[in-house]
Chain A
Amino acid sequence: MTHSYLLEVGVEEMPAHVVTKSIAQLHQRVANFLKEERIDFAQIQEFATPRRLALLISGLADKQPDVDEEVKGPAKKIALDADGNWTKAAQGFTRGQGVSVDDIEFKAVKGVEYVFVNKHVAGQPVAKVLAKLPDVITAMNFPTLMKWGSFNLQFIRPIRWLVSLLDDQVVPFSILNVTAGRTTQGHRFLGHAIDIATATDYEAALKADFVIADQAKRKALIQEQIHALVAEHDWVLDEDLELLEEVNNLVEWPTAFAGAFDEKYLVLPEEVLITSMRDNQRFFCVRDHAGKLLPHFISVRNGNRDHLDNVIKGNERVLVPRLEDAKFFYEEDQKLSIDQYVARLSKVSFHDQISSMAEKMARTGALAQALGHQLGLSEAELADLQRASAIYKFDLTTQMVGEFAELQGIMGEIYANLAGEKPAVAAAVREHYLPIAAEGDLPTTKLGALLAIADKLDSIYSFFAVGLIPSGSNDPYALRRQAAGIMRILVAQGWHLPILTFQAQAAQAVANLDLRYDYTKNAAQVRTFLLDRIKQFLSDEHLRHDVIDAATDTKVADPVNIVAAAQLLADHQADAGFKDQIEALTRVIRIAQKAPADLPTTVDPAKFVNPSETALHTAVAALAKQADQLSLADLFAKLTALADVITAYFTENMIMDKDEAVKNNRLAQLTLLADLTGRLGNLDQLIVK
Chain B
Amino acid sequence: MAKKMTVQEIIFTLEKYWADQGCMLMQAYDNEKGAGTMSPYTFLRAIGPEPWNAAYVEPSRRPADGRYGENPNRLYQHHQFQVLMKPSPANIQELYLGSLRELGIEPLEHDIRFVEDNWENPSMGCAGVGWEVWLDGMEVTQFTYFQVVGELQMDPVAAEVTYGLERLAEYIQNVNSVYDLEWSDGVLYGDIFKEPEYEHSKYAFEESNQDMLLADFDNFESEAKRLIKLGLIHPAYDYVLKCSHTFNLLDARGAVSVTERAGYLHRIRIMAKMIAKAFVEERRKLGFPLIHDEQQRQATVEKYTQAAEKAAARAAKQAKKGEK
Q: Do A and B bind each other?
A: yes
Extra 20 A-B pairs, beta carbons < 8 Å, given A149-B88, A150-B157, A315-B111: A147-B155, A148-B145, A149-B89, A149-B90, A152-B155, A158-B88, A158-B145, A250-B113, A250-B115, A307-B109, A310-B110, A311-B111, A311-B137, A313-B136, A314-B111, A314-B136, A314-B137, A318-B137, A321-B73, A349-B258
Residue of B nearest to A251 (CB): B113
Tell me whether A318 and B110 are in contact in the complex, defined as CB-CB below 8 angstroms, given that A146-B147, A352-B263 are known contacts: no
**Which residues of A in the span 263-322 have a Cβ within 8 Å of any Cβ on B?**
281, 299, 301-303, 306-307, 310-311, 313-315, 317-318, 320-321
On whether the beta carbons of A349 and B259 are closer than 8 Å, the reply is yes
On whether the beta carbons of A306 and B109 are closer than 8 Å, the reply is yes
On whether the beta carbons of A15 and B110 are closer than 8 Å, the reply is no
On whether the beta carbons of A190 and B108 are closer than 8 Å, the reply is yes
Could you say which of A13, A145, A147, A299 contacts B137, with CB atoms under 8 Å apart?
A: A299
Tell me the smallest distance from the CB of A279 to a CB of chain B, in Å. 12
**Which residues of A in the span 142-164 have a Cβ within 8 Å of any Cβ on B?**
144-150, 152, 157-158, 160
Could you say which of B72, B93, B107, B136 contacts A315, with CB atoms under 8 Å apart?
A: B136
**Which residues of A in the span 500-514 have a Cβ within 8 Å of any Cβ on B?**
none
A-B pairs with the 4 shortest C-beta distances? A314-B136, A15-B116, A352-B259, A349-B258
On whether the beta carbons of A302 and B113 are closer than 8 Å, the reply is yes
Residue of B nearest to A347 (CB): B257
Tell me whether A302 and B93 are in contact in the complex, defined as CB-CB below 8 angstroms, given that A13-B131, A317-B138, A318-B138 are known contacts: no
Tell me the smallest distance from the CB of B188 to a CB of chain A, in Å. 19
Tell me whether A314 and B138 are in contact in the complex, defined as CB-CB below 8 angstroms, given that A144-B118, A307-B108 are known contacts: yes
On whether the beta carbons of B113 and A158 are closer than 8 Å, the reply is no
Tell me the smallest distance from the CB of A55 to a CB of chain B, in Å. 23
On whether the beta carbons of B109 and A146 are closer than 8 Å, the reply is no
Tell me whether A311 and B136 are in contact in the complex, defined as CB-CB below 8 angstroms, given that A302-B111, A352-B263 are known contacts: yes
Query: Contact mask A114-151 → B, CB, 8 Å, 1/0?
Result: 00000000000000000000000000000011111110
Determine whether B114 belongs to the interface, using a CB cutoff of 8 Å to chain A: yes
Residue of A nearest to B135 (CB): A314
Tell me the smallest distance from the CB of B137 to a CB of chain A, in Å. 4
On whether the beta carbons of A321 and B72 are closer than 8 Å, the reply is yes
Determine whether A348 belongs to the interface, using a CB cutoff of 8 Å to chain B: yes
Determine whether B171 belongs to the interface, using a CB cutoff of 8 Å to chain A: yes
On whether the beta carbons of A314 and B171 are closer than 8 Å, the reply is yes
Residue of A nearest to B153 (CB): A147
Query: Contact mask A1-22 → B, CB, 8 Å, 1/0?
Result: 0000000000011111100000
Determine whether B262 belongs to the interface, using a CB cutoff of 8 Å to chain A: yes
Tell me the smallest distance from the CB of A477 to a CB of chain B, in Å. 13
Contacts of B72 in A (CB 8 A): 321
On whether the beta carbons of A147 and B87 are closer than 8 Å, the reply is no
Question: Complex Cα distance A526/B154, Å?
Answer: 40
Determine whether A177 belongs to the interface, using a CB cutoff of 8 Å to chain B: yes
On whether the beta carbons of B157 and A310 are closer than 8 Å, the reply is no
A-B contact pairs, 6 of them (CB 8 A): A147-B157, A157-B129, A189-B107, A311-B136, A314-B137, A349-B257
Question: Complex Cα distance A318/B137, Å?
Answer: 7
On whether the beta carbons of A177 and B90 are closer than 8 Å, the reply is yes
On whether the beta carbons of A352 and B262 are closer than 8 Å, the reply is yes
Tell me whether A311 and B116 are in contact in the complex, defined as CB-CB below 8 angstroms, given that A12-B93, A177-B90 are known contacts: no
Tell me whether A310 and B136 are in contact in the complex, defined as CB-CB below 8 angstroms, given that A320-B176, A321-B72 are known contacts: yes
Determine whether B35 belongs to the interface, using a CB cutoff of 8 Å to chain A: no
Tell me the smallest distance from the CB of A28 to a CB of chain B, in Å. 23
Centre residue among B87, B116, B147 by max chain A CB count within 10 A? B116
Question: Complex Cα distance A314/B260, Å?
Answer: 41
Interface residue tally on A, bucketed by range: 35 or more
**Which residues of B in the span 234-292 have a Cβ within 8 Å of any Cβ on A?**
257-260, 262-263
Identify the A interface with B (CB < 8 A): 12-17, 50, 144-150, 152, 157-158, 160, 177, 188-190, 250-251, 281, 299, 301-303, 306-307, 310-311, 313-315, 317-318, 320-321, 325, 347-349, 351-352
Contacts of B154 in A (CB 8 A): 147
On whether the beta carbons of B87 and A150 are closer than 8 Å, the reply is yes
On whether the beta carbons of B156 and A146 are closer than 8 Å, the reply is no
> Chain B interface secondary structure, helix, strand, loop or mixed?
mixed
Could you say which of B88, B90, B116, B118 contacts A160, with CB atoms under 8 Å apart?
A: B90
Determine whether B11 belongs to the interface, using a CB cutoff of 8 Å to chain A: no
On whether the beta carbons of B137 and A148 are closer than 8 Å, the reply is no
Tell me the smallest distance from the CB of B256 to a CB of chain A, in Å. 10
> Chain A interface secondary structure, helix, strand, loop or mixed?
loop
Question: Complex Cα distance A12/B92, Å?
Answer: 10
Determine whether B112 belongs to the interface, using a CB cutoff of 8 Å to chain A: yes
Could you say which of B90, B112, B135, B263 contacts A158, with CB atoms under 8 Å apart?
A: B90
Query: Contact mask B119-143 → A, CB, 8 Å, 1/0?
Result: 0000000000101000111100000
On whether the beta carbons of A146 and B108 are closer than 8 Å, the reply is no
On whether the beta carbons of A314 and B110 are closer than 8 Å, the reply is yes
On whether the beta carbons of B116 and A16 are closer than 8 Å, the reply is yes
Tell me the smallest distance from the CB of A521 to a CB of chain B, in Å. 20
On whether the beta carbons of B157 and A148 are closer than 8 Å, the reply is yes
Question: Complex Cα distance A189/B108, Å?
Answer: 6
Tell me the smallest distance from the CB of B63 to a CB of chain A, in Å. 16
Contacts of A145 in B (CB 8 A): 129
Contacts of A315 in B (CB 8 A): 111, 136-137
Question: Complex Cα distance A188/B176, Å?
Answer: 29
Could you say which of B88, B110, B156 contacts A307, with CB atoms under 8 Å apart?
A: B110
Tell me the smallest distance from the CB of B25 to a CB of chain A, in Å. 23
Residue of A nearest to B159 (CB): A148
Query: Contact mask B22-47 → A, CB, 8 Å, 1/0?
Result: 00000000000000000000000000
**Which residues of B in the span 83-112 have a Cβ within 8 Å of any Cβ on A?**
87-90, 93, 107-112
Tell me the smallest distance from the CB of B24 to a CB of chain A, in Å. 20
Could you say which of B89, B108, B114, B257 contacts A12, with CB atoms under 8 Å apart?
A: B114
Tell me the smallest distance from the CB of A330 to a CB of chain B, in Å. 16
Question: Complex Cα distance A460/B157, Å?
Answer: 40
Contacts of A250 in B (CB 8 A): 113, 115
Contacts of B259 in A (CB 8 A): 349, 351-352
Question: Complex Cα distance A190/B115, Å?
Answer: 19
Question: Complex Cα distance A321/B258, Å?
Answer: 28
Contacts of B258 in A (CB 8 A): 348-349, 352
Contacts of A14 in B (CB 8 A): 116
Question: Complex Cα distance A147/B137, Å?
Answer: 28
Contacts of A348 in B (CB 8 A): 257-258
Residue of A nearest to B116 (CB): A15
On whether the beta carbons of A281 and B111 are closer than 8 Å, the reply is no
Contacts of B147 in A (CB 8 A): 146-147
Residue of A nearest to B147 (CB): A146
Tell me the smallest distance from the CB of B177 to a CB of chain A, in Å. 9
Centre residue among A149, A157, A315 by max chain B CB count within 10 A? A149
Question: Complex Cα distance A301/B112, Å?
Answer: 9
On whether the beta carbons of A148 and B88 are closer than 8 Å, the reply is yes
Question: Complex Cα distance A307/B71, Å?
Answer: 31
Tell me whether A189 and B112 are in contact in the complex, defined as CB-CB below 8 angstroms, given that A147-B147, A315-B136, A318-B137 are known contacts: yes
On whether the beta carbons of B110 and A149 are closer than 8 Å, the reply is no
Question: Complex Cα distance A347/B262, Å?
Answer: 15
Tell me whether A317 and B176 are in contact in the complex, defined as CB-CB below 8 angstroms, given that A160-B90, A250-B113 are known contacts: yes
On whether the beta carbons of B137 and A146 are closer than 8 Å, the reply is no
